[in-house]
Amino acid sequence: MTLHLFLAACAAALNVYLELPSVSGEAVRQAVAAVEAQNDGPLQQGTLIIVDYSQPSQRRRLAVMDLASGRIVQYSRTAHGKNSGGVWTDTFSNTEGSLQSSLGLFNVAESFSGKHGPSLRLIGLDPEKNSNALHRGIIVHAAPYASAQSMLLNWRSGFRLGRSEGCFALADEDFAELSQHLTRPAYLYSYAKE
Tens of pLDDT, residue by residue over 89-143, are: 999 999 999 999 999 999 999 999 999 999 999 999 999 999 999 999 999 999 9
> In this structure, are residues 94 and 127 in contact, taking their beta carbons and an 8 Å threshold?
no
Q: Higher pLDDT residue, 161 or 78?
A: 78
Instruction: Determine the length of the chain.
Output: 194
Protein fold of 3-191: L,D-transpeptidase catalytic domain-like (2.40.440)
Q: What angle do CA 92, 94, 97 make, to 5 degrees?
A: 95
Count of other CB atoms within 10 angstroms of residue 65: 24
For position 148, what pLDDT does the model report?
86
pTM for this structure?
Answer: 0.90
What is the distance, to the nearest Å, from the Cα of residue 146 to the centroid of all Cα atoms in its chain? 10
Q: What angle do CA 144, 147, 148 make, to 5 degrees?
A: 145
- Assign residue 77 a region (left: φ > 0; alpha: ψ between -120 and 50; beta: otherwise): beta
For position 9, what pLDDT does the model report?
54
Instruction: For strands 117-124 and 104-114, give the pairing.
Output: antiparallel
Find, among 58, 104, 101, the residue nearest to 83 by Cα.
101
84-92 LR contacts (CB < 8 Å, sep 24+): 84/53, 84/163, 84/166, 86/57, 86/157, 86/158, 86/160, 87/56, 87/57, 87/58, 87/157, 87/158, 87/159, 87/160, 88/56, 88/57, 89/53, 89/57, 89/192, 92/53, 92/129, 92/192
Reported confidence tier of residue 15, pLDDT bands at 50, 70, 90: low
Reported confidence tier of residue 47, pLDDT bands at 50, 70, 90: very high
- Rounded-to-5 percentages of helix, strand, coil across the chain: 30, 30, 40
Per DSSP, the three-state class of 148 is helix
> In this structure, are residues 51 and 161 in contact, taking their beta carbons and an 8 Å threshold?
no
For position 8, what pLDDT does the model report?
55
